[in-house]
């Protein structure tokens, strides 16, 4: 059986979300996972979004969709309702409305279940881990990534603890085990 190369369609709500999309795409490359960035607002061009999704759904490659949109996140729910593959919502962090716009990514109707991961690199890692379930090459890339992270942390700890630490002055020995208080 020949494995098809996995694909992550990254769907942005607007061009303003492009930076997040590029971070996801760059992170996916380290796992050997291809991506395509598209722009299609669920509110403003739903027919175009549905056509994009229809085209992807006829593509036989394994897919994980990543949606990136701020404010009112109808995009993730609409994508999840139309596709059979996993959907990861990765809404950009926002101070608008004191960050309350995140609720539009968390509260979905019954039967709609996009995963929510706020960090774009974390969203890419999650997609790679999904593909790693049945793709040995992606699995090896995820394991190598995890090993490199662990080695970096251990090296950081070694560097931190190998620096000369200030010595604690030693206390003079006491003459007896009884307190030397002047009474």
Domain coordinates of the chain in residue numbers? 7-138
What local confidence, expressed as pLDDT, does residue 71 receive?
A: 76
pLDDT digits over 100-130, tens only?
A: 677 667 778 889 999 999 999 999 999 999 9
pLDDT digits over 141-152, tens only?
A: 999 999 999 999
Cα–Cα–Cα angle for 29, 137, 125, rounded to 5 degrees? 45
* CATH number for the segment(s) 7-138: 3.40.50.1970
If 0-12 CB within 10 Å is exposed, 13-18 middle and 19+ buried, where does residue 145 land? middle
- The whole-model pTM stands at 0.84
pLDDT digits over 6-35, tens only?
A: 999 999 999 999 999 999 999 999 999 999
What local confidence, expressed as pLDDT, does residue 181 receive?
A: 45
């Amino acid at each position: 059986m020949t494995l098809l190369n996995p694909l992550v369609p990254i769907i942005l709500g607007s061009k303003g979300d492009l930076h997040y999309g590029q971070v996801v795409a760059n992170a996916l490359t380290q796992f050997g996972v291809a991506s395509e960035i598209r722009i299609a607002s669920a509110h403003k061009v739903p027919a175009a979004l549905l056509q994009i999704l229809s085209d992807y759904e006829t593509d036989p490659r394994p897919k994980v969709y990543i949606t990136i949109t701020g404010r009112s996140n109808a995009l993730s729910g609409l994508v999840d309702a139309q596709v059979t593959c996993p959907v990861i919502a990765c809404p950009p962090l926002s101070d608008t409305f004191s960050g309350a716009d995140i609720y539009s990514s968390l509260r979905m109707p019954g039967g709609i279940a996009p995963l929510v991961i706020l960090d774009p690199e974390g969203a890419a890692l999650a997609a790679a881990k999904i593909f790693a379930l049945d793709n040995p090459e992606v699995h090896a890339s995820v394991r190598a990534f995890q090993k490199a992270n662990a080695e970096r942390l251990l090296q950081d700890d070694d560097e931190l603890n190998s620096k000369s630490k200030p010595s604690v002055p030693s206390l003079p020995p006491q003459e007896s085990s009884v307190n030397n208080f002047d009474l």
